[in-house]
Structure 1
Amino acid sequence: MKYFDRDLSWLSFNYRVLMEAMDESVPLLERLRFIAIYSSNLDEFFRVRVADIRNIKRIDKRKINKRLDFDAKTLLSDIHQEVSHQLDQYGHAMREIIDQLKKKGHFICTDTSEIPTDLNGDLLNYFKTYVSAFLQPKNLDENTELFLDNQAIYLAVHFADDDISILNIPTDHLSRFSQFQVGSDTYYIFLDDVIRLHLDLVFPEKEVKGAFSIKLNKDAELQIDDEYSGNLVRKIEKQIQKRNLGTPARFLFDIKMPDEMLASLTGQLQLSSDDVVTGGRYHNLNDFFQININDPELNYPHQPCTPVQSLQGSRSILKKLEDQDHLLHFPYQSYDYVLQFFNEASIDPEVEEINVTFYRMAKKSTIAEALISASNNGKKVSVFMEVKARFDEKNNLDWARKMRAAGIKIIYSLPGLKVHAKVALVRKKNKMYGFFGTGNLNEKTSEIYCDHGLLTSDDQLTKELHHVFQYLLTKYTPPPFQKLIVSQFGAYEKFIEKIDREIQHAEAGREARIIVKVNNLQEQTLIKKLEEASSKGVDVKLIVRSICCLIPSKDLKVKRIVDRYLEHGRVFYFHNNDEQEIYLGSADWMNRNLHRRIEVCFPISNDRMKQEILTILKFQWKDDIKGVWLSPKMENERPKLEHKIRAQMATYNYLKDQ
């Protein structure tokens, strides 16, 4: 085995998320949120990756691309085996959390028998006033064509005469939980159970024997022709509508459902045994995010953003950038400075033009509103909108329409490429200002994703960023990039060159060191290069949050960190004979990022900023509280508690003290 399989590696990462839900040192409500994150992650995994593998399995083997390095049938079996193992621990962790919350006076009822009779009147009133308006039962018989919405949850109702009816659980209209107070205790009732308690009102002529939850995950990939003949937006909208018609990837059902009933349902849905996965009484447990309890003991302590003194209270961000660059670290430092950058550009009479790339936009985007104001204020505004960002296609399209209506030039996607760069350029007559980020221009995710952003007026950086936008806007071929590393324009080759340079330093007896921090590490040539570098004496440190196809060894270790915030920043450090090159950027080291996307990585030249990044990397490498070592068996191994460093807390305190 030369490499870890990417999908099994991802499952190893998701198990690391589950470990936080099982960690008794994590506040109870935060543990419940990790349960929700694990559930949401797994749903997306089945909708995308498992669906893809299933599609490959259906193709005749002679037609499968010979370059595939896995057998689809074997991989699916391995996936289901690992998921089954994880779900056993998932269920145990969830029950433990719920039991502990009960001791604190917060009762998440996991059966109708746990609901106090004192609430019967309130629940009846709630059902009759709100819930019943959205119920649409469908009786199942041989003439019925059963259709289940993708990811929606239903009750399969079993009657005494063995008839079956499918009843929707309307979470698209109502909260998943109803909250009631009984004395000093708070009860959280699943919408599923509110319906279960009143099935006699939905089916007054029937005797109900049982009601069992079901759910169908479907293939969520959009099939878009890369040549984009015709109207791309219309094609994407059409495919979004078809997402609900995707190929089944997983049918979840309550394990207590009678076998005959299950056979009837799977027959109606034309599912194979590979599609069917046992589940519990409730599905879509990402809805646990809806439970919010204002109790400091149950939540992480509030962590206010630390101000950046050089920017705080400034009347002009742009003028500050003419004096010096500013490197920001989110969510430890406020994203307000980025918003102020755009807001100021929108009203500054000297600003003539603004260019921005969007990959995943906030639903309520202050940045987009600032761009609309800029356009209305007579400035030339151009936005490259990536409309192939999975699950954000509709939100991005909605914002694109709104911005276009305000006179903003909108450019949609490129054939064969996704634009994943997180950059913006503001131009005055004689000066340009840039924003370079490792994370999306999204003020909502900036509160929970660890990212870096550079605000600069450096002439060479902004000039090269201008070339990037000219390429996106006009397909103009830019001159070679000297400072930026840009995918599709030699990024892959530059990373190879920099690793080779460290190897040469090591072979010459000089100190040689590489630190790579990414979300995902999959590109095999780069993996081979890292292994070669390590074998020839280069000190290689890898911090990889999620997918890691490199198999760690004694001399080539991989650290994985999962904590309060999502580690999202990409950092590339090359010692370079004490000259110390550091790049930040949007690119993971995956095939898609380096070969099928536009990514921008940017250098950090200022010595103080370099030291900040190196200090943060040091915290992360030594993290023995939330950091784990990825083992050669793809397991998450907790380190010995030597340093007692929790990187995210250490980073926050370090930046607070600066």
Structure 2
Amino acid sequence: MVKYFDRDLSWLSFNKRVLMEATNPDVPLYERIKFLAIYSSNLDEFFRVRVAGLRSIVDIDKKKINKKFNKPPKEILSELLEEVYQQQEEFGRIKRDEIIPQLKKEGIHFYRGEKIIAEHQEFAQHYFKSKILSYLQPVLLTSSHSRPIHLENRQLYFIVCLRNGTGDIDYALLNIPSNNLSRFIALPKIGDTYYIAAIDDIMRENLDFLFPQYQIEGCYSIKLNRDADLNIEDEYSGNLVKKIKKQIEKRDLGVPSRFLYDSAMPLPVLEYITEKFQLTSNDLLAGGRYHNMYDLFQLSNPLKPRLENPGLPAIRKKKLDDSRLIFHAIDEQDILLHFPYQSYDYVLRFFNEAALDPQVKEIKATFYRIASDSFICNALISAANNGKKVTVFVEIKARFDEENNLKWAEKMKKAGIEILYSIPGLKVHAKVALVIRHSDDGAIRKYGYLGTGNFNEKTAVIYADEALLTHQDYITNELDKLFSYLVDQSQEVSFQELLVSQFNITDRFKQMVDQEIEHALQGRSGHIIIKLNNLQDDIMIDKLYEASQAGVKVELIVRAICCLRPGVKGLSETITVHRIVDRYLEHSRVFYFYNNGREDLYLGSADWMKRNLYHRIEVVFPLHNPELKKEVIKLVQIQLADNVKGCELDRDLNNIKVENGAEDIRSQHAFYQWLADLD
């Protein structure tokens, strides 16, 4: 049996778990629709990055392939596409047989290919002529076209088949302006029934207006995904900012990674456009009548808030609310925050108060994914305007956020903030900040923020993360050393409390696993709990296999990629892998080692991926305070007991619903309630 799951098949297994929520009758209807949208969005990025990457190396020298892959990439790609095909068949079935009928049962009629009824014709035609028509750019694909037609990345199009006056067939390319207009339009209510139509269908009803001299013979939707990974060939010389900007401009010109077409399209039409757009058979993937189903995020709910999750208002933390300055509260005791269960406003307070407090002299922070309208960046600009020294590291190689990060970096730089850009050969993925303040007695005190999630107010309401606010010197002094290293990588620095990629992270993780192995071999309890987004590094997986073979109990909570194969006799029989997919995206990383009852506990930004452990700057930090440790241990205990949204990954990569015989435990709701009662 193969020791490791394939990375990409494992990710598809996670996306299948997302799809399971879309078919779960216990999930409110519009939340099920959101899971369809999440699934589609995930898959779109998968093709833009992972499939594009695989396809680009299919013809690489076999010796190189064998070093990197367990099997030829061509074979892997074939397996991936087969799994995607099966999942998309299930996606279509859920939408067709479950979601649409359930909407109808609730009094919401969703037009799905049928002719728009007479009562809506006037509205639809008016909307077409007054709104949609503004964005349409029909192109007749005739032989007179001397220049090649460029299909934009992720843009929706129609291929329209037209019979001309001589009886021959012409073809037209027509854009569907889903990036400019809402994809789904609410039509006038009739009686007790609400009606919704996609702009695709409104366009189909009005094609004769665009092509009055032709007879419409057919209309089929298409979409092209292109390779979206930026290729910075030489990060060690030249201006990296300019290179990133240049590559962003080229992103939409990447090679095809997936050409989606309506499976109802006749073969002659498919052959024509394959040749016209210079596609290959490997580019082609049959789909349904509609593409870009992540647009389902836009689907309005006329019965809101019914058919959606009930709200869970963010829990206030009385200790912070009662403190005039957040730094005074941190002086008394380290503070642990759990998002989105507790309010992210406290993070905003941390930066806002630092910006205005005259006793704060310096602020330092790292950014990986910045919110498009960032309160935190605005606070740092205010700090700089108030005469404080502000140093910010901005990672401009954060995939799909490069442009936004560059925008904010340039804006902050204009305000006088010292901006540090990406390090050659590395990404800085750490989520940390440091405030240097002169306390009331004149002493210099440092306040650290260390988190598992980005400084991003938008994602903080849907990503489940943890963050520590601390004044402890053993943490803040090491944070200061990290920022010194980010300024000048030639400096020699070392870390004892913090686990930092490029310095000590893998050695320390191995030591802590070895410690559990030794306890087990000596007849004591060995127990490890690790919560990650992704687990892929074979070195760390082998270390967990070694622990299992020594009798250590290993409980993993892995949201997405998991290359470790659990439950295999003689290899991993004491290892379990849990997955939780619910209303919030599980994003925190937790590392628990029983250590003969001493219970070592760490939180941080690092997944156990090769990229995180060896090609990034990550920060994992300890929790020593017994009360704070109790909170995180409670979190993972509840998640391991989740039998409502929890699944276990079996040795064949299947998501198996947890059946533990206990009363229903939905971990995100249970932890929310536990936190609410705690405070």
Distance 2:356 2:234 in 1: 38
Which residue number corresponds to residue 470 of structure 1?
484
Amino acid at match of 2:676: K
Q: TM-score, normalised by structure 2?
A: 0.95
Amino acid at match of 1:353: E
Secondary structure, counterpart of 2:486 in structure 1: helix
Moved over 4 A (4+): 62-65
Distance 1:390 1:312 in 2: 36
Distance 1:60 1:204 in 2: 54
Distance 1:128 1:517 in 2: 53
- Contact 2:236/2:425, CA 8 A, preserved across alignment: no
Which residue number corresponds to residue 585 of structure 1?
604
Which residue number corresponds to residue 669 of structure 2?
649
In the alignment, structure 1 segments of 5+ residues that lack a partner are: none
Deviation, 1:135, is 0.7
Which residue number corresponds to residue 261 of structure 1?
269
- Contact 1:625/1:641, CA 8 A, preserved across alignment: no
Mean Cα displacement is larger for which, 190-199 or 246-255?
190-199
CA offsets 1:467-490 (integer angstroms, 9 cap, x no match): 111111122434321110000011
Secondary structure, counterpart of 1:120 in structure 2: helix
Identity in percent: 52
> Counterparts of 1:558-637 in structure 2 under 5 Å?
558-637=577-656
Which residue number corresponds to residue 22 of structure 1?
23
Q: TM-score, normalised by structure 1?
A: 0.98
Mean Cα displacement is larger for which, 200-209 or 636-645?
636-645
Deviation, 1:491, is 0.4
Which residue number corresponds to residue 111 of structure 1?
113
Question: What is the root-mean-square deviation of aligned Cα atoms in Å?
Answer: 1.3
Amino acid at match of 1:395: N
- Contact 2:551/2:574, CA 8 A, preserved across alignment: no
Alignment of 1:162 with 2:169, yes or no, is yes
Distance 2:212 2:323 in 1: 68
Deviation, 1:426, is 0.7
Deviation, 1:64, is 4.3
Deviation, 1:91, is 0.6
Distance 2:177 2:18 in 1: 29
Which residue number corresponds to residue 570 of structure 2?
none
Distance 1:526 1:157 in 2: 53
Alignment of 1:363 with 2:381, yes or no, is no
Distance 1:112 1:477 in 2: 68
Which residue number corresponds to residue 234 of structure 1?
242
- Contact 2:5/2:565, CA 8 A, preserved across alignment: yes
Deviation, 1:211, is 0.9
Instruction: Give the 3 Å change call, closer, same or farther, for CA 143–71 of structure 1 in structure 2.
Output: farther
Secondary structure, counterpart of 1:310 in structure 2: helix
Deviation, 1:112, is 4.2
Deviation, 1:60, is 4.1
Distance 2:200 2:120 in 1: 16
In the alignment, structure 2 segments of 5+ residues that lack a partner are: 439-443, 568-572
Distance 2:293 2:324 in 1: 46
- Contact 1:470/1:476, CA 8 A, preserved across alignment: no
Deviation, 1:59, is 2.8
Alignment of 1:53 with 2:54, yes or no, is yes
Which residue number corresponds to residue 4 of structure 1?
5
User: Of 219, 222, 227, which aligns to 2:230?
Assistant: 222
Amino acid at match of 2:622: P
Distance 2:246 2:162 in 1: 39
> Counterparts of 1:444-459 in structure 2 under 5 Å?
444-459=458-473
User: Of 491, 495, 499, which aligns to 1:481?
Assistant: 495
Secondary structure, counterpart of 1:122 in structure 2: helix
Which residue number corresponds to residue 441 of structure 2?
none
Distance 1:526 1:316 in 2: 42
> Counterparts of 1:422-571 in structure 2 under 5 Å?
422-429=431-438, 430-553=444-567, 554-571=573-590
Which residue number corresponds to residue 99 of structure 2?
97
> Counterparts of 1:67-82 in structure 2 under 5 Å?
67-82=68-83
Secondary structure, counterpart of 1:577 in structure 2: helix
Secondary structure, counterpart of 2:68 in structure 1: coil
Distance 2:507 2:491 in 1: 18
Which residue number corresponds to residue 340 of structure 1?
349
Secondary structure, counterpart of 2:243 in structure 1: helix
Distance 1:206 1:379 in 2: 68
CA offsets 1:349-374 (integer angstroms, 9 cap, x no match): 01111111111111111101101111
CA offsets 1:2-22 (integer angstroms, 9 cap, x no match): 100000000000000000001
Distance 1:110 1:641 in 2: 41
Amino acid at match of 2:179: D
- Contact 2:435/2:448, CA 8 A, preserved across alignment: yes
Mean Cα displacement is larger for which, 400-409 or 626-635?
400-409
Q: How many residues are treated as equivalent by the alignment?
A: 657
Distance 2:227 2:235 in 1: 22
Deviation, 1:228, is 3.9
Distance 1:100 1:562 in 2: 22
- Contact 2:592/2:599, CA 8 A, preserved across alignment: yes
Deviation, 1:226, is 4.2
Secondary structure, counterpart of 1:212 in structure 2: strand
- Contact 1:138/1:165, CA 8 A, preserved across alignment: yes
Secondary structure, counterpart of 1:361 in structure 2: coil
Distance 1:82 1:518 in 2: 24
Distance 1:295 1:63 in 2: 55
Deviation, 1:579, is 1.2
Distance 2:11 2:491 in 1: 36
- Contact 1:467/1:478, CA 8 A, preserved across alignment: no
CA offsets 1:89-140 (integer angstroms, 9 cap, x no match): 1111112112101111222211142x33211111111111111111111111
- Contact 2:65/2:72, CA 8 A, preserved across alignment: no
Amino acid at match of 1:178: I
Distance 1:65 1:5 in 2: 14
Distance 1:410 1:94 in 2: 47
Deviation, 1:69, is 2.7
- Contact 1:331/1:447, CA 8 A, preserved across alignment: yes
Amino acid at match of 1:546: A
Deviation, 1:61, is 3.1
Secondary structure, counterpart of 2:291 in structure 1: coil
Which residue number corresponds to residue 318 of structure 1?
327
